[in-house]
Structure 1
């Protein structure tokens, strides 16, 4: 190695930072953490030298590697030992989260970031090792670090689509963007280029019925959410570090599948069929039409491919369908007999009415199915993750053609493939099998002191000449834009000034709010917990869904604690933007109108699409009493205690939180009841109407969701409805 120190970079400002040269390189002091820590994520496929050149960054000493001809950083043998598995993953392949060696690499690299004293060292280590580890392992570890360190704020994370636009945007669109950027630079006619594509320009031909919901599966924010969820709740995290992590795995994916099926009903498709007969062909193939920026091509899967054994080289890394069949049998047996058997042969009871000291059965099941903190990994296996792995290689299971993995192998791309939802519908039916073994909730468990008098949901006043109507909501497609210039290097020279914006249409809706009329029959001010769920009223054949069938569909819309409610009748108003399934962080980038989602359900997908004529949904609302010990959140999980307390205890739905689907890194789950309560178990009632009628603290409303195509047509549609009312009795 010949020494080659990168050009002097001390002119760089890092939010007013002061730079001091030390033996280890340049040390940075007195900065604001946001901007310079964001820059570490940028241009993931470029060298650290190029990154520093493009963004004027301070870096450790750089050296010329005579073997590769690249200018890179140099890391010590001591640091190499700390990095462990992270150095063993090839640099130019994606991060396959469902492979244990990849997840271990992220865990070991994250540990380096978490053990250092302060943000100075996080930055220094990141810049030192960036050239030496897999691009995507590096990014995954950094993203995870922001969730774990209390001196870093997840709200400061750059949106994933701005870092890895190649994960979400068709390859042809990116090629066009590079061409237009080059022309703009050479001709000096603009510093900003915008490239558009539309939802019908995705990976499935229009003659395939599955194209009807491609807009939803390939939604950028939804795929980003899935990435963030698995990074904030990794299956190999230390046991106990995430409260009810196994149950979260069940609940988030259950909601995702339920919402996907509501989208399918909206476009006249039948609900997704579970992929449970593993000897039948997989009917629908998938051709992703995306290529990683480093040249990695995601593999295609033809129609009618089979779920087969993967014959790896070396042979001991092979995986077999028979393994999954055995694990499935063991899980079914555990559900049916009501207990699992741990590694010591001790029976572990499965119940969602646990005694003090017992865990929720659904949490134990979730850990076993995803193979996290399983009570017996040898017996219950690695069902979920290995299923993803086999499906991602079903196009070439014998490795005869040395092809790459398919999108099912990576968390940020898996949702794009229709088979993702078939696989997770199977997983969900396994969990439902367990849920159906649980006794119905008792009257005592369901009844509360409060009485819900009335519930309305209404759109906010979001456009001129439009008057919202109660219980009528709209969806439409609207444009969304993000800046790709930080993920892909479009410059020809360091001093080029070019910004490339990528623009597409996404399913969206206006903000809306709930108004809940509630009665407090006591003489005291009391707080309540409000739970709100949504489900379709009718199935694909137009038949009313009974109580049992609705268990497949209920999706959480909100879960929050109220302010103290006065005696007598009072009103609660709650805006959709404050929902417990969302994060309130937003990007400060003026060229990016994507809200930062992180581990948050996408804001634009809070509502299902609905139909042009209006689709009827049940809106379920429940007001529960709050036990005295639930009034104040208690921090009970040990975390890395760094200097700046960004993760503060807050109630679900307040700014910065998204507790319902994601939990919180250092706290108990915000709701002590089973996730999905009270609509997660069987009932003696045949219909949801009969169930609600028995409990004064519950209410059921009908909501009509109409898909209007575009925002402008909403007002025109309303005017047409008014004109009809002049001619006919409405």
Structure 2
């Protein structure tokens, strides 16, 4: 079968380079494991799914009677003690950012992880599916599958199929439930399976645009693939456990935390430029917080996700967290400037060493490998708690997490990017204290990039269908397998293109190519001589790959779709499960690979503008030190090659302008053209809506200059003030 389509490449790891996709043909043992695990995610809000295998297994299993089947009996004893005492009840809202929830999650994960064999693990997972809180169960199960050796290469469904409530507006969920009950809009799909298709309704969305022009970026905030990516990238190295007993590369944990968020911030900044916004504003916790959050999400238990009005003040009941942040921030800044951190016993570690950035990342995230959470705390979690503006409930069963307190929804809140501007700022302070790269660090003797050519860059909005079966209730397992519920949304995408890089080499050698995309020169960075020195952190790494150069001229062709740092669309659950069943029945082979998830390929380019918006392309090639090559095996992301260079090299710190003319560097201005004429849905309705409102509200904007825009929908020229352009379009 074509399960290769499910394979995704890791993004956020600028330090890595794929060794190649390992493709294997599944044996029957693997197939049965894959089927059992995949089914555990079906209709997660219905624990007693009659007719399912896990229901029959779970209701007859007894952990206490089988305590010898766990490698660490104390883990099982602790879990049973907590369970009998009363853990988070089913239907309650779970967040890993609440301490009580986190402690119970850790106990459940360990129970899964320390099961002696797969059979015990599956029985335990089936039992927990019936009795444990749904949100806690999904996170513990997902993490356990990642780290158990007998689950290696098992595919996990995208989180938007598991919990549609966290990815789709409530009106879509309501439509899905209504359609399932009435059979309205029924269509017959392949194999006589009923298919229901829900088109996005824009009524609710327009409420946000009136309140905050920031929501012109909602196509980025609400991108389903991007939010799914963030969930899995944060679950690879869960901050709530220590990695000392897990087989993962612990030495990159803190550095990865920094780099993933730095790249997200840079990518977000490019999207801001495309929409006419500038720098992300700073905030003061003692003054009103500018961006609002107008949630259209409702949790599966019917509770609405908290919203936040524009220019809101920090609630009084959050003041204690503000004081704690002030104390922690002063300690972090003192550590960065002094160059030392200390553990619980008072032992000092140097931040300006090979492991320094990893130490700092662990410390700021406040994860299980932080040297001293008692002293340095977890400033990431505190920021999320304050600006989510949710109620500070003391009882664990009545807490209502904000968007910031769930990985699946964090990126939807504009506050996320303000908070991480502050958090990443700590790392920038650290990076600016590092020694600047010398010419010897940057050059590639005897290698010259002569030219870089690429096709014209286009972006557009397209329709895409997502499976949301878990949004509805079914009578039994058989009923759940006889229909497909899909939500159709618009998303940003781009026209694939090819890089052609001409490289001249004086010898046969190997090199690593990195391609970056960043802001072009603007009002702040109008001097080319100081451009990178002040703007290095706003570049997104879009590709990285190894090349073998022969003596003479080399022409390297690289397709954008081949990027090792992006991921193609995942195979939908309906198709994946259907092919899995055919393989289990022996009707066709089933192949699997060592890579599954990554950054969504459809967001490879920022939106740009009609007529083109300028960006700066930076291509860099450098020598490989084969003595430093190391292979890492990352859960869900496969085997990756670490080349010994920092994340984002050479744009991981300020660069002196007199190195810009090195022959192994190449700069080029490129324009990204947004093709709004290719859509008739999402963007059209937004533009039409605001155009109609101009006559009413246009007087509020300065009329100091005119520009003309041809509107194909009206077939005439319409004139608006330039001052209104950034707000309307």
**TM-score of the pair, normalised by structure 1:** 0.77
Query: Residue 293 of structure 1: SS of its match in structure 2?
Result: coil
Residue 366 (structure 2) pairs with residue 367 (structure 1): no
Query: Residue 490 of structure 2: SS of its match in structure 1?
Result: strand
- Report the CA distance shift for 1:189/1:538 in structure 2 as closer, same or farther (over 3 A): same
Query: Residue 300 of structure 1: SS of its match in structure 2?
Result: coil
Q: Could you tell me how far 1:520 is from its partner in structure 2?
A: 2.4
Contact 1:83 1:109 in 2 (8 A): no
What is aligned with 1:265? 273
What is aligned with 2:515? 532
One of 621, 633, 652 as aligned partner of 1:680: 652
What is aligned with 1:329? 330
Query: Residue 292 of structure 1: SS of its match in structure 2?
Result: coil
**Distance in 2, Cα, partners of 1:288 & 1:407:** 8
Number of equivalenced pairs: 615
Contact 2:254 2:357 in 1 (8 A): yes
- Report the CA distance shift for 1:403/1:16 in structure 2 as closer, same or farther (over 3 A): closer
- Report the CA distance shift for 1:57/1:367 in structure 2 as closer, same or farther (over 3 A): closer
What is aligned with 2:616? 618
Contact 1:305 1:395 in 2 (8 A): no
**Distance in 2, Cα, partners of 1:155 & 1:540:** 50
**Distance in 2, Cα, partners of 1:403 & 1:117:** 35
Q: What do the CA deviations read for 1:509-533 (whole angstroms, capped 9, x no partner)?
A: 12233222222212x3x22111111
Q: What do the CA deviations read for 1:197-239 (whole angstroms, capped 9, x no partner)?
A: 1678548521221111111011111111111111111123324
One of 466, 472, 477 as aligned partner of 1:488: 472
Gaps of 5+ in 2: 1-25, 68-75, 578-592, 681-711, 713-729
Larger CA deviation: 608-617 vs 110-119: 110-119
What is aligned with 1:76? 64
Contact 1:534 1:618 in 2 (8 A): yes
What is aligned with 2:691? none
**Distance in 2, Cα, partners of 1:684 & 1:344:** 40
Q: Could you tell me how far 1:704 is from its partner in structure 2?
A: 1.1
Residue 615 (structure 2) pairs with residue 606 (structure 1): no
Q: Could you tell me how far 1:74 is from its partner in structure 2?
A: 5.8
One of 645, 649, 654 as aligned partner of 2:639: 649
What is aligned with 1:473? 457
Residue 40 (structure 2) pairs with residue 32 (structure 1): no
- Report the CA distance shift for 1:506/1:489 in structure 2 as closer, same or farther (over 3 A): same
**Distance in 2, Cα, partners of 1:428 & 1:100:** 24
Query: Residue 251 of structure 2: SS of its match in structure 1?
Result: coil
**Distance in 2, Cα, partners of 1:493 & 1:252:** 39
One of 425, 438, 441 as aligned partner of 2:437: 441
What is aligned with 2:660? 692
- Report the CA distance shift for 1:238/1:535 in structure 2 as closer, same or farther (over 3 A): same
What is aligned with 2:306? 299
- Report the CA distance shift for 1:604/1:592 in structure 2 as closer, same or farther (over 3 A): farther
What is the Cα-based RMSD across aligned positions, in Å?
3.4
**Distance in 2, Cα, partners of 1:187 & 1:273:** 48
Contact 2:569 2:600 in 1 (8 A): no
**Distance in 2, Cα, partners of 1:74 & 1:215:** 47
What is aligned with 1:429? 425
**Distance in 2, Cα, partners of 1:409 & 1:226:** 13
Contact 1:342 1:376 in 2 (8 A): yes
What is aligned with 1:656? none
Contact 2:112 2:144 in 1 (8 A): yes
Q: What do the CA deviations read for 1:37-81 (whole angstroms, capped 9, x no partner)?
A: 11101111112x32x43x566622638xxxxxxxxx765375564
What is aligned with 1:197? 200
Q: Which has the higher helix share?
A: 2
**Distance in 2, Cα, partners of 1:260 & 1:124:** 43
What is aligned with 1:152? 151
What is aligned with 1:206? 209
**TM-score of the pair, normalised by structure 2:** 0.77
Q: What do the CA deviations read for 1:315-343 (whole angstroms, capped 9, x no partner)?
A: xxx95211100110111112222222333
Q: What do the CA deviations read for 1:160-199 (whole angstroms, capped 9, x no partner)?
A: 1111111011111111122222222898988211001167
- Report the CA distance shift for 1:154/1:387 in structure 2 as closer, same or farther (over 3 A): farther
One of 515, 520, 526 as aligned partner of 2:505: 520
**Distance in 1, Cα, partners of 2:259 & 2:187:** 52
Q: Which has the higher contact order (CA 8 A, sep 6+)?
A: 2
Q: Could you tell me how far 1:92 is from its partner in structure 2?
A: 2.2
Contact 1:151 1:646 in 2 (8 A): no
What is aligned with 1:708? 675
Contact 2:450 2:504 in 1 (8 A): no
Q: What do the CA deviations read for 1:658-703 (whole angstroms, capped 9, x no partner)?
A: xxxxxxxxxxxx2321111111222332xxxx5321x211111222
Query: Residue 475 of structure 1: SS of its match in structure 2?
Result: strand
**Distance in 1, Cα, partners of 2:431 & 2:413:** 28
Q: Could you tell me how far 1:506 is from its partner in structure 2?
A: 0.4
Q: Could you tell me how far 1:705 is from its partner in structure 2?
A: 0.7
Contact 2:186 2:196 in 1 (8 A): no
Q: Could you tell me how far 1:709 is from its partner in structure 2?
A: 2.0
Q: Could you tell me how far 1:648 is from its partner in structure 2?
A: 5.6
Q: Could you tell me how far 1:443 is from its partner in structure 2?
A: 1.2
Q: Could you tell me how far 1:627 is from its partner in structure 2?
A: 0.9
What is aligned with 2:3? none
- Report the CA distance shift for 1:279/1:309 in structure 2 as closer, same or farther (over 3 A): same
**Distance in 1, Cα, partners of 2:393 & 2:100:** 21
- Report the CA distance shift for 1:530/1:104 in structure 2 as closer, same or farther (over 3 A): farther
What is aligned with 1:664? none
Residue 504 (structure 2) pairs with residue 509 (structure 1): no
Contact 1:269 1:540 in 2 (8 A): no
Trace 1:61-100 onto structure 2 (pairs within 5 A): 62=59, 75-76=63-64, 78=67, 79=76, 81-82=78-79, 88-100=87-99
